[in-house]
């Protein structure tokens, strides 16, 4: 088990393996997304309260879910890198941040577009989830800005890990304080929970699964770039690039 783990965490091994793995995540992911997009847009009957606008949840929920998952991955990988000094973990954290920020931005945009016909406003300050997501986006920006400001990669890794860990503790507090705050101001009704028909729920679950697989493949691509850049002076990179077959 440990041997296998160490092998996986060794950069050249990971670099080779991820090239094989990536399409195996991307293809089923895209297929699932295509299928459930078709289902969600055309097949599933419309919601009796929200009409066809509810179809936005088929992109809103997966992006919101991944925005949080990416942050969890970023903080966990940062902690692993900090504690066990595994270099690959830091590459994972660095790669997760821009994807997480993109998904957070998307979940905010889709939530806002949903809010326009439902609440009659593009932006509802009183909605606790919108506020939490906005703060999450700021945390991503802070993380990426800190990394960008530090030239030394090893230093940027560790500083970023500390920030991500402080951020994840804080996100829990953000969640509760924002809930409390919006309860004071009688926040608007949010996406309804628990009352979805199975017919509507199945495409959503498939969509979440599809997006997760796609996210995995996007993450792998960025980790590969990070690994390649960090290992640019090593022998295996030189041998791979100068070999007659070439790498990618």
Helices in 85-197 by DSSP H: which ranges?
A: 87-119, 128-149, 153-184
Contact between 97 and another protein (CB under 8 A)? no
SS3 label, residue 110:
helix
Q: How many CA atoms lie within 13 A of 175 on its CB side?
A: 7
Contact between 135 and another protein (CB under 8 A)? yes
d(CA 131, CA 124): 9
Give the chain's radius of gyration (CA, Å): 20
CB 57 within 8 A of CB 197: no
Joined together, the tokens standing for residue 105 give: 């931005």
To which residue do tokens 């890198």 refer? 81
Single residue of 5, 38, 123, 141 touching another protein by CB under 8 A? 141
Alpha-carbon dihedral sign for residues 41, 42, 45, 48: positive
Contact between 60 and another protein (CB under 8 A)? yes
C-beta of 105: minimal distance to another protein in Å? 7
Single residue of 5, 24, 125, 229 touching another protein by CB under 8 A? 229
Single residue of 79, 150, 196, 202 touching another protein by CB under 8 A? 150
C-beta of 3: minimal distance to another protein in Å? 29
d(CA 216, CA 211): 8
Single residue of 7, 49, 121, 225 touching another protein by CB under 8 A? 225
Site string for another protein, 3-42 (x = CB under 8 A): ----------------------------------x---xx
d(CA 172, CA 140): 15
| Closest alpha carbon to 56 in 104, 106, 113 | 113
Neighbouring C-beta atoms of residue 16, cutoff 10 Å: 13
Q: Which stretch binds another protein (CB under 8 A): 7-15, 83-91, 196-204, 228-236?
A: 228-236
Single residue of 7, 17, 138, 192 touching another protein by CB under 8 A? 138
Q: For another protein, how many residues bind (rule: CB under 8 A)?
A: 68
Give the footprint of another protein on this chain (CB under 8 A). 37, 41-42, 46, 51-53, 55-56, 58-60, 63, 82, 98-99, 102, 105-106, 109-110, 113-114, 116-117, 135, 138-139, 141-142, 145-146, 149-150, 154-155, 158-159, 162-163, 165-167, 169-170, 173-174, 176-178, 180-181, 184, 214, 218, 221-222, 224-225, 228-229, 232, 237-238, 241-242, 247-248
């Amino acid at each position: 088990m440990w041997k296998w783990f160490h092998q996986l965490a060794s950069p050249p091994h990971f670099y080779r393996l991820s090239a094989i793995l990536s399409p195996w995540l991307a293809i089923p992911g895209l297929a699932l997304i295509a299928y459930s997009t078709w289902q969600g847009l055309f097949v599933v009957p419309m919601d009796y309260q929200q009409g066809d606008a509810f179809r936005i949840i088929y992109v809103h929920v997966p992006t919101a879910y991944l925005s949080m998952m990416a942050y969890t991955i970023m903080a966990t990988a940062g902690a692993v890198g900090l504690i066990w000094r595994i270099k690959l973990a830091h590459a994972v954290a660095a790669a997760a941040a821009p994807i997480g920020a993109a998904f957070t931005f998307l979940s905010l945009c889709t939530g806002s577009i949903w809010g326009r016909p439902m609440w009659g406003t593009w932006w509802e300050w009183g909605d606790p989830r919108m506020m939490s997501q906005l703060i999450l986006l700021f945390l991503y920006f802070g993380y990426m800005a800190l990394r960008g400001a530090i030239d030394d990669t090893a230093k940027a890794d560790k500083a970023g890990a500390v920030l991500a860990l402080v951020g994840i503790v804080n996100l829990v507090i953000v969640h509760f304080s924002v809930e409390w705050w919006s309860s004071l101001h009688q926040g608007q009704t949010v996406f309804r929970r628990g009352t979805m028909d199975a017919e509507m729920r199945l495409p959503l679950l498939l969509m979440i699964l599809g997006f997760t697989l796609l996210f995995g493949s996007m993450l792998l691509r960025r980790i590969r770039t990070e690994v390649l850049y960090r290992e640019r002076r090593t022998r295996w990179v030189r041998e791979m690039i100068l070999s007659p077959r070439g790498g990618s």
